[in-house]
Amino acid sequence: MYYYAVRHGHLDILYNTDHKRAASMGQRECFLYLLTVGAKVDCLKKADWTPLMMACTRRNLGVIQELLSHEADPTLKNKDGWNSFHIASAGRETQHLLLANPEVWRTESKTLRTPLHTAVMHGCEEGVSILVQRCDYVPDGRDSCRVTPFMDAVRNGHIFVSKLLLEKHQASLTTADILGAQPVHQVAVTAQEEALEFLVRDLGVDVNQTATDMQLTSLHYAAKGHTSTIKTLPTLGADLHVRDKKERTGTVEKWFPNCGARGRQGGHGFPPPKVYYYNIYIFKGTQQVKSNQMYL
């Protein structure tokens, strides 16, 4: 009953605890009442979430402003190393946190993710614009997996955000993550075809460049099952015959009747006319886990 009262604004039956719930649900009057009767503005709940963090999840600007006016600390972190600025980075609430503490943007999670990574990953154009204009983030700052904000933008298909990072941060097009994959490989994994065309056609990225010591191309990465991406890559200049270190083609290798695997068996082992063999390679990460032959 008490939690119901907090969530739905029933001020007459509240006590002086759990104003975090009131903050998260945007119940401003309930929240202010709880503060007046002695609740701590920065009290922590399980996993170290403060009322300010919970208000930021709801993007409730009124409650956020009230919390800041009561000197809520936006630099406090939860168990994952996120503070309120990480959570608010998706929208205009970042401006109010920056006014309260101009250095609040200097933060990283336990995996070295910055608020810029967070805003970019979610494609929040307004939030990213504020961050690149008002915060001094290092271009191509990397998290623990060596992923940059630009990588996050393109592999999630956020073209406008990608352009913004190129313009304001001069983001690198060829920086590799911890596995050695560059942006052009990552968009093949996530099947972001518009981003793939943006990288290759608009920015001139080489679609056949290889990644890792296995020499994998975008076509190899698309072999995870993205049929449409496999069809798109040749139109962008992808070489269907390029092989990796293990002599495997990227995705599909067409074998014509007189050179098919069964055609080399001798005798009358040639397949009938207009029948072709395809080698289908399926990858898990960079390791081939299955190889099937399909007849068309």
The residue range of the domain holding 193 is 178-250
Q: What is the pLDDT along the chain (296 residues), one digit of tens a residue?
A: 333 333 444 444 333 344 445 444 545 666 666 677 666 767 766 568 888 888 888 888 888 888 898 888 999 999 999 999 999 987 778 989 999 999 999 999 999 999 999 999 999 999 999 999 999 999 899 999 999 999 999 999 999 999 999 999 999 999 999 999 999 999 999 999 999 999 999 999 999 999 998 999 999 999 877 889 999 999 999 998 889 888 888 654 333 333 333 333 333 333 443 333 444 445 445 455 444 444 33
The confidence score (pLDDT) of residue 112 equals 96
> How many Å apart are CA 5 and CA 21, to the nearest integer?
10
Residue closest to 219 by CA, chosen among 171, 279, 274: 279
Residue at 188 is within a domain: yes
In sequence order, which residues have a C-beta less than 8 Å from that of residue 273 and are 6 or more positions away? Answer: 257
Whether 229 and 222 have beta carbons less than 8 Å apart is answered as yes
Residue at 241 is within a domain: yes
Token pair 């992808």 in the structure block, residue: 238
The confidence score (pLDDT) of residue 32 equals 67
Residue at 148 is within a domain: no
Give the Å distances, CA to CA, from 61 to 27, 58, 69, 252: 12, 9, 12, 52
Whether 95 and 130 have beta carbons less than 8 Å apart is answered as yes
Nearest-10 Cα torsion for 182, 184, 189, 194: 150
Residue closest to 50 by CA, chosen among 27, 18, 28: 18
The confidence score (pLDDT) of residue 46 equals 59
Residue at 246 is within a domain: yes
Whether 262 and 270 have beta carbons less than 8 Å apart is answered as yes
Tokens of 174: 């060829």
Residue at 48 is within a domain: no
Whether 233 and 205 have beta carbons less than 8 Å apart is answered as no
Nearest-10 Cα torsion for 216, 218, 219, 220: 30
The confidence score (pLDDT) of residue 249 equals 81
Residue at 64 is within a domain: no
In sequence order, which residues have a C-beta less than 8 Å from that of residue 49 and are 6 or more positions away? Answer: 20, 78
Q: Where residue 233 sits, what CATH number does that domain have?
A: 1.25.40.20
Query: How many structural domains compose the chain?
Result: 1
Residue at 192 is within a domain: yes
> How many Å apart are CA 291 and CA 274, to the nearest integer?
23
The confidence score (pLDDT) of residue 51 equals 84
Query: Residue 278: which H helix or E strand, with range?
Result: strand 277-284
